[in-house]
Structure 1
Amino acid sequence: MTRVLLLLFVLLSTTAAFAQESKGDPAEGRIKAYTCTGCHGIEGWKNAYPNYHVPRIVGQNYDYIVAALTEYKNGGRSHPTMRAQGESLTEADIHDIAAFLSSINSAE
């Protein structure tokens, strides 16, 4: 019985660790999101380009950011600049960027 409980504990601990890892690392995402700031205007970062409307991504929902970047990566969305950005990202990059951007309070 003790072995079964120990095995169950190990499995649950491992599952929890994987679930936390899949959300990405905001610290890594801050570094990887550098190119996002030029167009999307993250508060506290200077951006003079572009001069047309782009969506604000600060404080955006984590799952939405992951879905959008994945669609750009896979060609499901066709904006040329975002498609080029998306194609260069790994799955880890996407999750890290989403973790960072979704962690920022949009009122800041």
Structure 2
Amino acid sequence: MLALPRRLGATLLLAGSVGVACAQAAPAAQPPPRTAVCVTCHGQLGMGAAPDTPHIAAQPEIYLVAQLKAFRSGARKHEVMNVIARSLSDEDIAALAEWYSRVKIEVRAP
């Protein structure tokens, strides 16, 4: 099972405790071609539907770059992400991180 990053876990706890609803809007630019490898698990705009798939939408670009590089090097372990990240170039990682960081999330009270 995938361990959630501390920040994501806190976000999920907050969302569950106050009952906020999230809606997302598409970023202005078209997604880079390599998003196809992300969509299966993380969804079209980076909002993972499975309980063990983190949301990557609107995460800081620097965080996404660091995590993808950690998966690629093996410093961060995940059976699927290590394989996927090994196929990504630095340019792919930069483009994916930039695009997903620009996805906007709106939080509304119920």
State the TM-score, normalized to the length of structure 1. 0.63
- Where does the alignment leave 5 or more consecutive residues of structure 2 unmatched? 1-27
SS at match of 1:98: helix
Stretches of 4+ moved more than 3 A in 1? 26-29, 42-45, 49-52
Are the structure 2 counterparts of residues 104 and 50 from structure 1 closer, same or farther at C-alpha, using a change threshold of 3 Å?
Answer: closer
Alignment-derived partner of residue 55 in structure 1:
54
Higher helix share goes to which structure?
A: 1
Alignment-derived partner of residue 66 in structure 1:
65
Q: 1:42 aligns with which of 41, 44, 54?
A: 44
Residues in 2 aligned to 1:96 and 1:30: alpha-carbon distance in whole angstroms: 6
Higher strand share goes to which structure?
A: 2
Bigger Cα Rg: 1
Percent identity between matched residues is 29
Alignment-derived partner of residue 94 in structure 1:
93
- Where does the alignment leave 5 or more consecutive residues of structure 1 unmatched? 1-25
AA partner of residue 94 (structure 2): H
State the TM-score, normalized to the length of structure 2. 0.62
